[in-house]
Amino acid sequence: MSPKRVAILISGGGSNMVSLVRSMQEPGPGGEAHAGMPCLVLSNQPGAGGLERAKEMGVPTAVVDHRPFKGDRVAFEDALSARLHFEGAEIVCLAGFMRILTTHFVSEWQGKMLNIHPSLLPKYRGLHTHARALEAGEAEHGCTVHEVTPELDEGPILGQARLPILAGDTPESLAARVLVQEHRLYPAVLRRFAAGDREPVFLSQD
Ligand code: GRF
């Protein structure tokens, strides 16, 4: 079977995108081929650092800037979908894509679209997750990969990686340690998902 075509949507530096692309370009732990291949890295920000990194890795890139759409989310989403279809995308990975997507877009891609969120969902949906976990006095924190459904940061959980919160942690130190786990978790989930396996992946810090 030919590999599934995976598009990755970014808005910034794209470190999760890099970990996903690398994982698809390398054999698996047992030497097996990946069931996915990167077909496109798409950014809504023309200056996103991840675009250069994708080009260096030999992946086609595109920009669909949201600003000319002047708040017309449906028109922006139609442009996104058109670009994804043009590349034959079969799976869409959101990786630091900082636009809220409406039901219009989500319903078209539902079941094929994943997101990574920096908290142990269902805790701390939305922004500032690390600061909120610290303020709440949590003993642990982490990240979640989930299928995207119309409600923000909801959808079936496909994997979680957890780590202890340390005395003296700041939102920045915690974010840095969670990001290391994001780079392990997202590729592990995508490897399974591309092969048609939705069994969740659970990781803890090594
Ligand atoms: C990550 O923390 C991700 O969880 C969040 O945005 C950040 C993206 O970082 N949604 P990068 O662009 O992948 O480096």
Q: Quick check: CB of 43 below 6 Å from ligand 1?
A: no
Q: Quick check: CB of 94 below 6 Å from ligand 1?
A: no
98 shares its domain with 146? no
12 shares its domain with 60? yes
Task: Annotate 153-169 with b (16+ C-beta within 10 A) or e (fewer).
Answer: bebebbbbbbbebeeeb
184 shares its domain with 103? no
Q: Which structural domain range is residue 20 located in?
A: 1-109
Residue 29: pLDDT band by 50, 70, 90 thresholds?
confident
171 shares its domain with 92? no
| pTM of the predicted model as reported, rounded to 2 decimal places | 0.96
Are the C-beta atoms of residues 168 and 1 closer than 8 Å to each other? no
Q: Which of 66, 117, 146, 183 is catalytic?
A: 117
Q: Is the pLDDT of residue 174 over 90?
A: yes
> Helices marked H in 69-128 — which ranges?
73-86, 103-109
Q: Which of 86, 109, 132 is the last residue of a domain?
A: 109
Q: Whose CA is nearest to atom 12 of ligand 1?
A: 14
- Check if 104 is active-site: no
Q: Tell me how many domains the chain contains.
A: 2
146 shares its domain with 171? yes
99 shares its domain with 46? yes
pLDDT at position 206, please? 65
Q: Which ligand 1 atom is at minimum distance from the Cα of 13?
A: 12
pLDDT tens per residue across span 84-143: 999 999 999 999 999 989 999 999 999 999 999 999 999 999 999 999 999 999 999 999
pLDDT tens per residue across span 135-162: 999 999 999 999 999 988 899 999 999 9
- Which of 8, 116, 117 should be mutated for ligand 1, with most atoms under 8 A from CB? 116
Q: Which of 109, 132, 167 is the last residue of a domain?
A: 109
166 shares its domain with 72? no
103 shares its domain with 120? no
Helical pair 49-56 and 15-25, crossing angle rounded to 10 deg = 10
Q: Quick check: CB of 182 below 6 Å from ligand 1?
A: yes
Write the CA distances from 78 to 43, 96, 152, integer angstroms: 15, 20, 20
